[in-house]
Chains A and B, each alone.
Chain A
């Protein structure tokens, strides 16, 4: 469980606005960058207002994020971003399906349950395969046979 304070988000928003403003104002061709410059100026103003209101309203709101519960899916997302293209979509998303089902199953897990998830996963991925490869003719990156 991690706690994030409202101030941290306000600072994040300010840094983001400053970075985008630097990118917009530091680039060439003033004509092409006029609109982004107006937008980032507004973003700077709004982030400043957020900071002012944070202290004025004494908004010390803290939000908790159950990072231990979320870490499997976040790791899977990172895993997919780096390997999805090489391992193939069907193979890597099957891993996502099985891992999500296994980790987030609320009751006791055993080999029988794992085999059940494998069966459900196979059925679901077969449906996806027929839907995308046969009906929609989408050629996704593949690995070995699938």
Chain B
């Protein structure tokens, strides 16, 4: 119950202000089609640079939570999911709105997001310290394999092809080697003086997530979807009905929690799997797709229940549970916080305040979500050209503000534009970003392992001996095979 010792830290004036702004901003950003949680968190990281680690993480956590829930607003009212996590919400949310029940659908969405979110954060609170203690047993060889596991898992789950996913991860790992070698101090791949400091994580994050989105927005056709009038509906009535759908809530929250714990899976999978599960076990299957509240309740409780558990492997092992958590890892690192047991010993105050703030953020998301959904329709109407111009300018200023280095802006724009073209052919940004983030961890531990191994039976023997090494290697292979199997299944389906 250590978390209770730091609970009051959340309720300082500054922290509550940050939480409020993060939640409202996150809900509005989530409602804007095209602004995914990953991109929103990536764009915000430079702004947290001047805050304390605690304040910065509170802001990022609140935005992460709120964007996932906010994405449901445009999913229900416009049939455009605000984020990939809300794809399943569209299936029944939009038909409900079409039937004149949009307020009711939004009520279910925020109430179930809140319930799922609280369950997810409780899992984070109780699981993380246990896993962090276990992580103390890890030596250089284990940490090396853990970093590789992070890349292989996200490559297999977030890519259209496992080979392309792994290649993207390898590009990220290679990009991370640019600059000075951490152990020998040798300058590597500095073809131009602008690269002497290596690739800045923030520049890579913002570029890889924001710029391809801007280019896609400008390349695509403008969609003018229908908008619905919001009917009057008693909140208490919605709450009572929502609670009575206990089965949908349990299916959604449990599925979301489990999927969140699996590194790399993310909210999209959580929402779709729980939707499929509730549909399969429902007595009124025929109503699904036509405006069945259980569909919204299961999908939304799942995608928010995923948020907390997705941080469990992130905070303990440095393996993100979702692409947004991967970006959040960048946020941790720029504040000098490294995943592992240190977070719960040396930085216990910052870590627990951050985790507690996520719990408070769920309440704020519920309160503001219910009242802001009416206002969000104006954000949803923002024309694409304004949105694209604003994101580009924010990306430029945000990237520059981190190190006051124009080279970072050039790297951001170059990586982003290249990523846009590569994404057309199934390459994705998340494995590259994770490669850049985990690259230094993998290389440093590999070099340390090599120094130890040189006094023993050699590096191969050192890296492949012991049950823990073999288990992590097996998990790496399973994730690759799972990705290959998924590719095969997709092709057979076609």
Listed in ascending order, the chain A residues whose CB lies under 8 Å from chain B are 4, 6, 9, 13, 20, 23, 27-29, 31-36, 39-40, 42-43, 46-47, 49-50, 53, 57, 61, 63, 65-66, 69-70, 73-74, 77, 80-81, 84-85, 89, 93, 96-97, 100-101, 103-106, 120, 124-125, 128, 132, 136-141
Measured CA separation A23–B195 after assembly (Å)? 15
With A35-B443, A50-B163, A101-B389 already in contact, the answer to whether A65 and B174 are too (CB < 8 A) is no
Expressed in whole angstroms, the minimum distance between the Cβ of B149 and any Cβ of chain A is 15
Which of A36, A50, A125 makes the CB contact (< 8 A) with B188?
A36
Expressed in whole angstroms, the minimum distance between the Cβ of B317 and any Cβ of chain A is 20
B232 CB within 8 Å of chain A: no
A20's nearest neighbour on chain B, judged by CB, is B174
Measured CA separation A4–B414 after assembly (Å)? 20
B: interface residue count bin = 35 or more
With A39-B170, A89-B397, A97-B393 already in contact, the answer to whether A69 and B386 are too (CB < 8 A) is no
Listed in ascending order, the chain B residues whose CB lies under 8 Å from chain A are 47, 50, 163-164, 166-167, 170-171, 173-174, 177, 181, 183-184, 186, 188-189, 214-215, 218-219, 222, 383-386, 388-390, 392-394, 396-397, 400-401, 404, 406, 409-410, 413-414, 417, 421-422, 424-425, 442-443, 446-447, 450, 491
Measured CA separation A140–B384 after assembly (Å)? 27
Which of B174, B188, B410 makes the CB contact (< 8 A) with A27?
B188
Tell me the total A-B contact number using a CB cutoff of 8 A.
Answer: 138
Is A138 within 8 A of B184, CB to CB? no
Which of A29, A35, A63, A69 makes the CB contact (< 8 A) with B177?
A35
Is B396 within 8 A of A80, CB to CB? yes
Most buried by A among B222, B389, B421, B491: B389
Is A84 within 8 A of B177, CB to CB? no
Is B409 within 8 A of A39, CB to CB? no
Measured CA separation A144–B384 after assembly (Å)? 32
Q: Which residues of the partner chain A approach B50 to less than 8 Å between Cβ atoms?
A: 136-137
Which of A66, A104, A120 makes the CB contact (< 8 A) with B388?
A104
Q: Which residues of the partner chain A approach B425 to less than 8 Å between Cβ atoms?
A: 4, 6, 9, 61, 63
Is A96 within 8 A of B417, CB to CB? no
Is B422 within 8 A of A9, CB to CB? yes
Is B401 within 8 A of A136, CB to CB? yes
With A101-B386, A105-B385 already in contact, the answer to whether A33 and B174 are too (CB < 8 A) is no
Expressed in whole angstroms, the minimum distance between the Cβ of B143 and any Cβ of chain A is 14
Is B417 within 8 A of A77, CB to CB? yes
Known A84-B406, A101-B389; further 7 A-B contacts with Cβ < 8 A: A46-B167, A50-B163, A81-B410, A97-B390, A100-B385, A128-B394, A140-B401
Is B174 within 8 A of A43, CB to CB? yes
In the A-B complex, the 9 residue pairs with the smallest Cβ-Cβ separation, listed nearest first, are A32-B186, A104-B385, A100-B389, A138-B401, A63-B424, A32-B181, A9-B425, A35-B443, A46-B167
With A31-B184, A50-B164, A93-B396 already in contact, the answer to whether A141 and B424 are too (CB < 8 A) is no
Most buried by B among A36, A47, A101, A139: A36
Most buried by B among A35, A120, A132: A35
Which of B167, B188, B390 makes the CB contact (< 8 A) with A33?
B188
Q: Which residues of the partner chain A approach B400 to less than 8 Å between Cβ atoms?
A: 89, 138, 140
A50's nearest neighbour on chain B, judged by CB, is B163
Is A128 within 8 A of B397, CB to CB? yes
Is A132 within 8 A of B424, CB to CB? no
A140's nearest neighbour on chain B, judged by CB, is B400
A127's nearest neighbour on chain B, judged by CB, is B390
With A29-B184, A80-B396 already in contact, the answer to whether A73 and B177 are too (CB < 8 A) is no
Is A46 within 8 A of B170, CB to CB? yes
Measured CA separation A50–B171 after assembly (Å)? 15
Q: Which residues of the partner chain B approach A69 to less than 8 Å between Cβ atoms?
A: 218-219
Is B393 within 8 A of A139, CB to CB? no
What are 17 of the A-B contact pairs (CB < 8 Å)? A4-B425, A29-B186, A32-B181, A32-B184, A36-B188, A43-B170, A63-B425, A65-B424, A70-B215, A74-B417, A81-B413, A100-B385, A100-B388, A103-B385, A128-B393, A139-B404, A140-B401
